[in-house]
Every structure is written in structure tokens, then in C-alpha cells.
Amino acid sequence: MANHKSAEKRDRQSKMRRLRNRMNKSAMKTAIRQVEEALVAGSEDAAKAALTVAIPLIYKTAAKGTIHKNTASRKVSRLTLRVNKMQPLA
């Protein structure tokens, strides 16, 4: 337990930041899971729609500092590749 006023404030801030980060990360994971579920179901339209929702969420999570920007880029790249593989080659 914190003994100084500044340490108590730091503890409060850390708790709020941890909750905020958890909320952002959870929303991102949910969006990613929806894309993956659409991929497993084989629904190309649903996968594309879920991907258009997931990409901004992933980048916003990185912009807020919850995840690293390279991690966000990697996640977007891999999801996009998986969705694109569903399409027949023209």
C-alpha cells in the first residue's frame, strides 16, 4: 500500500490506465475474433465487413499505446491476407 500522497495518486492512475488498456485490448480482440469466425464459416462478405471494422480498432489500440504499432501492423497484415485468400483468383 502506498504511504505518500504522490504514491497514492500514482496507484490510482495506474489502476485507471490498466482498466482503460484492458477495455481497448478486449474490443480489439473481439473485432479480430469476429473476422476469424467469418473466415471459419466461409462467409466472404461477412469476413470483409468484419475486417473493415477491425482494422481501425486495431490501429486505434496502437495509437493509444496499448499495443505497439508494429504489432498492430502485423495483425492487420495477417488478417488481410487471410481474408484475401478466400477470394478466388481472377
> pLDDT tens digit string along 30-80?
999 999 999 999 899 999 999 999 999 999 999 999 999 999 999 999 999
Task: Give me the pLDDT at residue 1, please.
Answer: 77
CATH code assigned at 51: 1.20.58.110
Range of the domain at 56: 5-86
CA distances from 72 to 11, 39, 50 (A): 28, 20, 16
> CA 25 to CA 23: how far, in whole Å?
6
**pTM of structure:** 0.86
User: Which of these, 61, 50, 51, 78, lies nearest to 27 by C-alpha position?
Assistant: 61
CA distances from 89 to 44, 64, 71, 80 (A): 14, 37, 29, 15
pLDDT tens for each residue of 6-43: 999 999 999 999 999 999 999 999 999 999 999 999 89
Counting the structural domains of the chain, the total is 1
